[in-house]
Structure 1
Amino acid sequence: MVVGRQKKKTKTCEHGKEDLLSQLPEPLISEILCRLSTKDAVRTSLLSTRWRNLWRWVPDLDLESDSFSKSNFDAFVSFVERFLVSHRDRELWIRKLRLCFGYHHHRPICDLTSWIDVLTTCRIQHLDVYCWSNHDIQIPLNLYTCETLVHLLLCYVTLSNAEFVSLPCLKIIHLVDNTYPNETTLQKLISGSPILEDLTITRSWNDDDNATVLQLRSHTLKRVDIDEFTQVVIDAPLLQALKATVSTKNFQIVNLGSSAKLDIDYSGHATCSSSMIHDIITDMSRVRELVIGNAIWKEIFQYSKSEPALLQFRDLSRLNVQFSKSDIELLPLFLESCPKLETLVMELVTDRSMRGKKEQEPKVMFSTVPQCLVSSLKFVQWKRSISGYEGETELVRYFLKNSKIVEKLRLDIYYTEKAKCALLQELLTMPRCSSVCEIHCSVIPRDKYRRTFRFKG
Structure 2
Amino acid sequence: MDMANSATHHQSDSKRKKVELSQDAVVSIDRISNLSDSLICHILSFLPTKEAVVTSILSNRWKTLWTLVPKIDLENNRFQKIPVSLTHIVYRVLALHRAPLLRNFSLTSYSPCHPFHLDTWIHTVIGRKVQQLRLQFHSKKLVKLPRTVFTCKTIVILELIGDIVLDPPSKFQFPSLKILCLCEIAYKSEDSFSNLLSGCPVLEDLRVKLREELDGATNLKITVPTLKRLGIEFIPGYPKPHDYKFEIYSPALENFRFCGDLGNLVFIEKLTKVVDAEVGIYAGHWVLENGLHYGARIFKLVRELNCSKFLSICPGQKECLCFDSIYPSMYQNLVRLEFGVNLSNWHVLKALLLVAPNLKVLVLDKNDYDEEDNRLCCIGRLDGSGCLSLLTAFSFNGYEELEHEVEFVKYVLNEARLLNAMTIKIYDKRFKESLLQRLSMFPRQSTKCVITVE
Scaled to the shorter chain, the TM-score interval is 0.7 to 0.9
Equivalence for 2:279: 263
d(CA) in 1 for partners of 2:115, 2:225: 40
Residue 372, structure 1, aligned to residue 378, structure 2: no
**Mapping 1:74-153, distance limit 5 Å:** 75-87=85-97, 90=98, 92-102=100-110, 105-106=111-112, 108=114, 110-153=116-159
Equivalence for 1:249: 263
Equivalence for 1:299: 319
Letter in 2 for 1:433: Q
Letter in 1 for 2:246: V
Equivalence for 1:205: 212
Q: Of the candidates 350, 353, 356, which is equivalent to residue 338 of structure 1?
A: 356
d(CA) in 2 for partners of 1:429, 1:273: 41
For residues 23-48 of structure 1, the C-alpha deviation after alignment (integer angstroms, 9 at most, x for no partner) is 43324322331233332212111111
Letter in 1 for 2:46: R
For residues 198-246 of structure 1, the C-alpha deviation after alignment (integer angstroms, 9 at most, x for no partner) is 1111222247x45442222222111222233663211111112322245
RMSD of aligned alpha carbons? 3.2
d(CA) in 1 for partners of 2:294, 2:315: 17
CA contact (8 A) 1:144 1:189 kept: no
Letter in 1 for 2:146: P
- Identical-pair percentage: 27
CA contact (8 A) 2:295 2:319 kept: no
CA contact (8 A) 1:172 1:197 kept: yes
Residue 239, structure 1, aligned to residue 253, structure 2: yes
- Secondary structure of the corresponding residue to residue 368 of structure 2: coil
Gaps of 5+ in 2: 1-21, 237-243
**Mapping 1:55-454, distance limit 5 Å:** 55-69=66-80, 75-87=85-97, 90=98, 92-102=100-110, 105-106=111-112, 108=114, 110-155=116-161, 156-206=163-213, 209-228=215-234, 231-245=245-259, 247=261, 249-255=263-269, 256-260=271-275, 261-268=277-284, 269-270=286-287, 271-273=292-294, 276-277=297-298, 279-280=300-301, 282-285=303-306, 287-295=308-316, 298-300=318-320, 302-304=321-323, 307-310=324-327, 312-315=329-332, 317=334, 318-328=336-346, 330-351=348-369, 354=370, 357=372, 359-360=374-375, 366-374=381-389, 376-384=390-398, 388-417=401-430, 419-428=431-440, 430-439=442-451, 441=452, 443=454
TM-score relative to the length of structure 1 = 0.79
By how many angstroms is 1:100 displaced?
Answer: 0.7
d(CA) in 2 for partners of 1:282, 1:247: 18
Determine which structure has the larger helix proportion and give its number.
Answer: 2
Equivalence for 1:454: none
CA contact (8 A) 2:387 2:415 kept: no
Equivalence for 1:449: none
- Secondary structure of the corresponding residue to residue 391 of structure 2: coil
CA contact (8 A) 1:77 1:110 kept: no
Equivalence for 2:57: 46
d(CA) in 2 for partners of 1:86, 1:38: 12
Question: May I ask how many residue pairs the two structures share in their alignment?
Answer: 412
Gaps of 5+ in 1: 1-12, 444-457
By how many angstroms is 1:391 displaced?
Answer: 4.5
Comparing 234-243 with 285-294, greater Cα deviation is found at 285-294
d(CA) in 2 for partners of 1:176, 1:252: 21
